[in-house]
Amino acid sequence: MTAPAPALSVEGLRVAVGPPGRGRAVVGDVAFAIPPGGRLAIVGESGSGKSMTALAVAGLLPRGARQTAGQIALGGRIVDPAGPGMARIRGREIAMIFQDPMSALNPVMTVGAQLVEAIRAHSAMSPRAARARAAEMLAAVQIPRPAERLDAWPHEFSGGMRQRVMIAMALTHRPKLLIADEPTTALDVTTQLQILRLIDGLCREEGSALMLITHDLGIVEGFCDSVVVLYGGRMMEAGPVAAVLGRPRHPYTRGLMATIPPLDRDVDWLDPIPGEPVATPAADAPGCPFAPRCGLAEARCRTVTPAWRPAGSKVAASCHLLAPSPAGGGLS
Amino acid sequence: MGSGASRQERGQALARAAARRLFDLAVVMVGVATVVFLLLRAVPGDPVLILGGLDTLDRDVIARARAEMGLDRSLVEQYLIWLGNMVSGDLGRSLRSGVPVTDLILRAMPPTFQLGIMALVIGMVISVPLGVAAARRAGSPADLGITVFAILGISTPPFVIALGLVYLFAVEFRLLPVAGYVAFADDPAGNLRAMAMPALTLGLVTGGVLVRMMRRSVIDELGEDYVRTARAKGVGETAVVYRHAVRNAAIPYVTILGLEAGVMLSGAVITETIFAIPGLGRLMIDNINARDYPVVQGTVLVVALVYVLINAGVDGMYRLLDPRVRAGAAR
């Protein structure tokens, strides 16, 4: 028996920014797969390449950025995200919601018109039927009096409500994969949880896989089943959430864990990761990108790129110190 | 918050905006009238003496003329009379011909307005497709070509464009008259032939400015998040550009269009002179040269009125294009 094809598989993804030939690599050799209905978190701080990875998968890289290598497959079928056929796939098989709901909706189109546009982009529905469907979608994202709200303008909605509209638009065609790029970062804390629960519930109902981009490990723990940790555009560690967060192997993951305030006791001081991510080398430079900030770094960390190697059941990481050494050192 | 203002609330907002606009108009017009009044009184020289010649008049004639023109009254009285006359549409008479200034202005308005409107239409027809095309291919040779064309339009003096067109269409191909004006009512075809070159001259100048504006605005809008959202929905690229980006780019574009409309509709002095079109620009410049002050002050007032009305029109366009303005929200 063979396992069903993953909703999304990414292999050897590289993204560069800047003119061809002289560009700077911002994502290097990222690979992961999400099974149908699975929930993968991509974690990292600003500049880790997590948003670039998401945008590359959706073929929505900003001007000046491009995919330079890698293979992306949706439901087992290889696609070219930057190709002309992608418009037929986006919104139908892959949907995406973004960080800032305040600017993600067109300010001069009514909420209803934008929903109807999303519906009719991939179906031959009449404008009337599409409007009815749009109202259903608003109801599904728990916006009260949905039929009336179709005629409202985005500026009449709060941030949380706009993000609900974005979710409604994204899920209208029951996509195989929903990419959510920091969907709650711009919202206030009480709204954050509501929106995450909504995404979680609707993905479950529609059977959509979820790729959640976040820097918040609490969100990862609460809503995802596997996690990829990125730093400097490269994969540091990946595996099931419980395994990775329960026993982080990579020094960077450990550093990230140390920045989370524990819920069960008061602390005066959290350990920040030393240094600045600004100094991160290009994603295709030799050596480990985290080496300049890593307290355990050795000489080889700065010159030799560590191999991607298993580090326990279903967990893998990229760190020289995880290599089995005859002297019995290493982290694992 | 809520699903939007009700129809009645929107009507009230519109009425409030219109009332505020009318009040603004009145204030601006009174202000302009006051400045014009004071400027002309501050200019050295007695209108009666200019009118009659310095030597020929005896004291009685001068005094009678002064009384006739109301110049024997106090400044405040004169000012109030001037304001009263203005409100009733009486702008005085030309010192040279004795023709009512209102008549002169009403005669000069149709050619200027026709020319201005034709030029604006040409400018828009040029700028929307070219500006959008350049923005979509920003950085490409096509963009560069369009940009060079636009900058040539902006930086070439109108009289050079006008003379070039005259050489091409009137001298070389003999398709259009060199200059002259026929009223549309008298000879529609002749009128359009006479207006073609002046309208194209001004249209190329204003089109250059508008191409640059449209290009910049569309480039800016294409980088906005909502454009990415539209793409994420699987909307086709043409719809992304026109339904989303251009509709938002229209808001800054209309601002510049309004400024251009003010310039076009208040009389293009050089173009009207080259093509012998008896418009507002010609009326103003001829009468400044002849020191015919009532005509000058009347024309200035009308030009000010045109600007105020265009501003009101631009505000109306904002309301049409941008729901946030309709709601009175800050932009």
CB pairs under 8 A between A and B: 101
Cβ atoms of B198 and B165 within 8 Å: the answer is: no
- When pLDDT is cut at 50, 70 and 90, the band that residue A329 belongs to is very low
Structure tokens at A301: 């960390």
- At A326 the pLDDT is 44
What is the rounded distance in angstroms from the CA atom of residue A68 to the CA atom of residue A74? 19
* Interface membership of B20 toward A (CB under 8 Å): no
**What's the gap in Å between the CA of A155 and the closest CA on chain B?**
7
* Interface membership of A62 toward B (CB under 8 Å): yes
Residue ranges, CATH 1.10.3720.10, chain B: 101-326
Chain B environment of A151 (Cβ under 8 Å): 3-4
Q: Dihedral of the CA atoms B94, B95, B97, B101 (nearest 10)? A: 0
B210 pLDDT more than 50: yes
- Which residue in B109, B21, B105 sits closest to B310, CA to CA? B21
Average pLDDT over residues B86-98: 84
Average pLDDT over residues A15-34: 90
Chain B environment of A121 (Cβ under 8 Å): 233-236
Average pLDDT over residues A8-16: 95
- When pLDDT is cut at 50, 70 and 90, the band that residue A97 belongs to is very high
**DSSP string over A58-113:** HT-PPTTEEEEEEEEEETTEEE-TTSTTHHHHBTTTEEEE-S-HHHHS-TTS-HHH
Structure tokens at A166: 């974005």
| Residue entry with tokens 């079109």 | B277
Average pLDDT over residues A55-64: 92
- At B46 the pLDDT is 66
- At B266 the pLDDT is 85
**CB contact (8 A) between residue B323 and residue A153:** yes
- Which residue in B207, B200, B210, B211 sits closest to B118, CA to CA? B200
pLDDT, tens only, A60-71: 999 889 999 999
A332 pLDDT more than 70: no
- At A281 the pLDDT is 73
Chain B environment of A145 (Cβ under 8 Å): 3
At residue B322, φ and ψ (nearest 5 deg) are: -125, 110
- At B8 the pLDDT is 76
What is the rounded distance in angstroms from the CA atom of residue A95 to the CA atom of residue A91? 5
What is the rounded distance in angstroms from the CA atom of residue B60 to the CA atom of residue A164? 86
3-class DSSP assignment, residue A24:
strand
What is the rounded distance in angstroms from the CA atom of residue A259 to the CA atom of residue B112? 71
- When pLDDT is cut at 50, 70 and 90, the band that residue A135 belongs to is very high
Average pLDDT over residues A39-46: 92
A21 pLDDT more than 60: yes
- At B56 the pLDDT is 60
Structure tokens at A49: 């390449």
* Interface membership of A128 toward B (CB under 8 Å): no
What is the rounded distance in angstroms from the CA atom of residue B167 to the CA atom of residue A218? 76
3-class DSSP assignment, residue A29:
strand
What is the rounded distance in angstroms from the CA atom of residue A199 to the CA atom of residue A182? 12
* Interface list for B 216-235 with A (CB within 8 A): 223-226, 228-235
Which CATH architecture best describes the domain B101-326? Orthogonal Bundle (1.10)
Listed range (A281-295, A317-331, B187-201, B267-281) with the worst mean pLDDT = A317-331
What is the rounded distance in angstroms from the CA atom of residue A174 to the CA atom of residue A183? 18
pLDDT, tens only, B98-145: 899 999 999 999 999 999 999 999 999 999 999 999 999 999 999 999
pLDDT, tens only, B42-76: 776 666 666 665 556 677 777 777 777 777 788 88
* Interface membership of A148 toward B (CB under 8 Å): yes
pLDDT, tens only, A209-249: 999 999 889 899 999 999 999 999 999 999 999 999 999 99
**DSSP string over A255-303:** HHHHTSPPSSS--S---PPSS-GGGPPPTTSSS-TTGGG-TT--HHHHH
What residue in A sits closest to B318 (Cα-Cα)? A108
Question: If you average pLDDT over every residue of chain B, what do you get?
Answer: 87
DSSP bridge partners of A229: A43, A237
The three-state DSSP-derived secondary structure of B122-166 is: HHHHHHHHHHHHHHHCCCCHHHHHHHHHHHHHHHCCHHHHHHHHH
Structure tokens at A165: 């509209």
**CB contact (8 A) between residue A104 and residue B323:** no
Give residues with Cβ within 8 angstroms of B245, minimum separation 6. B135, B218, B221, B222, B224, B227
Question: If you average pLDDT over every residue of chain A, what do you get?
Answer: 89
- At B1 the pLDDT is 42
What percentage of residues in chain A have a pLDDT greater than 90? 67
A331 pLDDT more than 60: no
